[in-house]
Structure 1
Amino acid sequence: MASTTTIRLMRLHPLGRAPLLNTVRTKQIPYVRSYATPSNPKEDAKSPSKNPAAQFYKTFTRPVSKVLLIAVLTYQLVYFGWMKLETDEIRAETAGEFWGRENEEKENNRLADNLPYTDTISHLESKVEEFKKSEKSK
């Protein structure tokens, strides 16, 4: 396929008359893309009969992998957030149990300081029996 380039030049007539049109022809240059690989008609005939599964994977591998990667990252973020909340909750429960036991112990010490020794011993014995009952019920 060859192309011819035609250039029209306008120039004024030396005496100030209407412009003259001159047509200049350039030489013909063949239309060939030098960077193109030569096409093989046999390969062109094979291209429509490619495996549809291969064509699907060739087309959609990158988008599907992107979606899967984003899904995994989202799952990981949600998982680590959930674990952080769980550990905070467990820490709060254990701290509450610790402070509850400490307050109970302080209350028992206060009661023991106010009671005479005989009452303190009987109070402690009742606490031991309550503890044994609670152990049996478990």
Structure 2
Amino acid sequence: MTYSSYFKWAVWAPAILLPLLFFVDTLLPPATPIGGWKQFFHIFILAFGVGAYLIFAFWASRVIDRKTEREVVRLACWAPVIFIPFYAAPWFLYGVIYLASGHLAGLRLMVEWVAYTPYLLVVGYFCSIVTVVVYQVIKRFFRQKL
């Protein structure tokens, strides 16, 4: 396994697993989200950043191909910070659409993503650290096998 394929797998794993978990969650009783589909969109797509993460994963997998191993490891360390604009864009766009449709709450949605940023960074850095540490362990293990 090359470093690029490992990091691509590491980027795409949450992009595949998280929507699957949300799909299973919607199938479990109660079958419909308590607040309806608007709340489902707000929580799963915006707050958890599923839509933004899919775009981020596509972008990151294209960037990984053009970087050296050292640059990819550095990129993995900066990934949570790099993800912030990807996370903010859907919030802002949804707020603008909501505001344009006559709802003043759109102003709140345009900046609400800032409140989630600390959680995003903590979870993001946890995942990045685990990804890099596992990569280093695998790299050393296979180097000793050769």
TM norm. shorter chain > 0.5 = no
Q: Computing the radius of gyration over CA atoms, which structure comes out larger, 1 or 2?
A: 1
The TM tier, using the shorter chain, reads under 0.3
After TM superposition, the score normalised by the length of structure 2 is 0.22
More strand by share: 1
More helix by share: 2
- Asked which structure has the greater RCO (Cα within 8 Å, sep 6+), the reply is 2
